[in-house]
Amino acid sequence: MAETANPPRPQDEVVDIARDLIRIDTTNTGDNATAKGERAAAEYVAEQLAEVGLEAKIYESAPGRASVACRFPGADPSRGALLLHGHLDVVPAEASEWTVHPFSGEIKDGYLFGRGAVDMKDFDAMLLALVRDWKRRGKVPPRDLVLLFTADEEAGSDYGARFMVEQHPEVFEGVTEAVGEVGGFSVTLPNDLRVYVVQTAEKGLDWLRLRATGRPGHGSMLHDDNAVTRLTRAVANIGQHEFPVEMTPTVRQFLESVSELTGIAFDPNNPDETVAKLGPVARLIGATLRNTANPTRLNAGYKTNVIPSTADAVIDCRSLPGRNDELEAILRELAGPGIDFEYEIRQPGYETSFDGVLVDAMAEAIRQADPGARTVPYMLSGGTDAKAFATLGIRCFGFAPLKLPADLDFTALFHGIDERVPLDGLKFGVDVMDRFISQS
Ligand SMILES: [Zn+2]
């Protein structure tokens, strides 16, 4: 591309690109027939990259379900490549509930509004603004960067990250680490100290179907083999079970760091108590202290006087990394005999250590951009594309930097009404990513 007199600044471009992306409605309904916009978004991304001389390739897993990848060669090809990833799809938004249209990309009161503003077209835009700036200025990353923008993260990644991992492993050649959501945002502790949480672990996703089989019969008769009774006993036992605290290295390190920074005492024998004192962060951390198993669906019977032969239920289980077999053993015991287990989804969690060049680079970039602030590791209780990349042995981190006002309930914005991102936060994010990637 020819040099222009005044190339756009990445701090300005990031807002425009995020806005453009929000205006491409990429609602993922979980159904290929109604999911939309991912192809248009992928083409937009490819154009943004092509404009500065980066050749991107679009991959379709099913008609319209498009992901886009590109390699930005680095200075030292002998080093492992760094995967920078973001998803292009968003969850549905009900326009009538919003104060602005969720796909209009409106800017007001210093915020960019729209579905995807924090999950995660903000980070997609940071990545694009950053590499466009570097290419224009002829700046070369220290090592190969693989940029990947995926479809289908919001519905389990089968048509996006998982498809890429399974069908196009060549895209990940030489990749040793990955950086994406959900981390890098600031959290203000009770003593007004700002920490930036880096995701170094993610709980597993285990959607388990329980099925009881019994003897069918007439509802007016004596009956001792009722599938509904057996199933509901199992569901109640599981739903009422209090899983013990199992502190993983990530959660322990988070609590130790926060305790040190705030002076809130940390009792390893009672981490729940420590977490409860942390204010809004408690919601982020509470669910990562233990396995969870919440019954969410029940299905049995078709007529009041007919005892059905089967009954089934679905349990939304979230296992700690490396503990999904252990969780299943506990659930089998709680369910008792005569209950069959079948997984709708079984994606184990992952955990990586909070150390190394990349982690140091994150901490340093944050220190430079927000003096006095610290980075701490944490575990996400939800799911992201990272679980798919972790299956390739890649160390995964969530680091999409955003400096947030202390009173903003950030986690509520994910999939929430009036999802929005501070414009200053976007600019801050590009700045931090620039420093971070330069030192990566
Ligand atoms: Zn997301």
- CA 339 to ligand 1 centroid distance, Å: 34
- CA 154 to ligand 1 centroid distance, Å: 7
Q: What is the pLDDT of residue 190?
A: 84
Task: Count how many Cα atoms sit within 13 Å of the Cα of residue 307 in the half-sphere of its side chain.
Answer: 20
- CA 300 to ligand 1 centroid distance, Å: 34
Quick check: 376 and 257 in contact, CB under 8 A? yes
- CA 88 to ligand 1 centroid distance, Å: 9
- CA 156 to ligand 1 centroid distance, Å: 11
- CA 296 to ligand 1 centroid distance, Å: 22
- CA 153 to ligand 1 centroid distance, Å: 7
Quick check: 61 and 160 in contact, CB under 8 A? yes
The pTM score is 0.92
Q: What is the pLDDT of residue 5?
A: 63
- CA 279 to ligand 1 centroid distance, Å: 23
- CA 129 to ligand 1 centroid distance, Å: 19
Could you tell me the CA-to-CA distances from 287 to 108, 122, 242, 271, 336 in Å, in that order? 34, 26, 12, 12, 26
Phi/psi-derived region of residue 114, left when phi > 0, alpha when psi is between -120 and 50, beta in every other case: left
- CA 230 to ligand 1 centroid distance, Å: 38
Q: What is the pLDDT of residue 393?
A: 96
- CA 35 to ligand 1 centroid distance, Å: 16
- CA 350 to ligand 1 centroid distance, Å: 17
- CA 328 to ligand 1 centroid distance, Å: 27
- DSSP-derived 3-state class of residue 332: helix
- CA 2 to ligand 1 centroid distance, Å: 35
- CA 181 to ligand 1 centroid distance, Å: 6
- CA 87 to ligand 1 centroid distance, Å: 7
- CA 115 to ligand 1 centroid distance, Å: 11
- CA 69 to ligand 1 centroid distance, Å: 18
According to the 3-state scheme, what is the secondary structure of 66-84? EEEEEEECCCCCCCCEEEE
- CA 173 to ligand 1 centroid distance, Å: 24
- CA 170 to ligand 1 centroid distance, Å: 24
Q: How far is CA 180 from the centre of its chain?
A: 8
User: In a 10 Å sphere around its CB, with 0-12 CB exposed, 13-18 middle and 19+ buried, how is residue 208 labelled?
Assistant: buried
- CA 131 to ligand 1 centroid distance, Å: 21
- CA 385 to ligand 1 centroid distance, Å: 8
- CA 307 to ligand 1 centroid distance, Å: 43
DSSP class per residue in 75-121: S-TTSPEEEEEEE--B----GGGSSS-TTS--EETTEEESTTTTTTH
Instruction: Spell out, as residue ranges, where the chain has pLDDT lower than 70.
Output: 1-5
**Rounded distance, CA 196 to CA 376, Å?**
6
User: In a 10 Å sphere around its CB, with 0-12 CB exposed, 13-18 middle and 19+ buried, how is residue 421 labelled?
Assistant: buried
Q: What is the pLDDT of residue 286?
A: 87
Q: What is the pLDDT of residue 3?
A: 52
- CA 68 to ligand 1 centroid distance, Å: 16
Q: What is the pLDDT of residue 191?
A: 86
- CA 340 to ligand 1 centroid distance, Å: 33
- CA 120 to ligand 1 centroid distance, Å: 5
- CA 58 to ligand 1 centroid distance, Å: 20
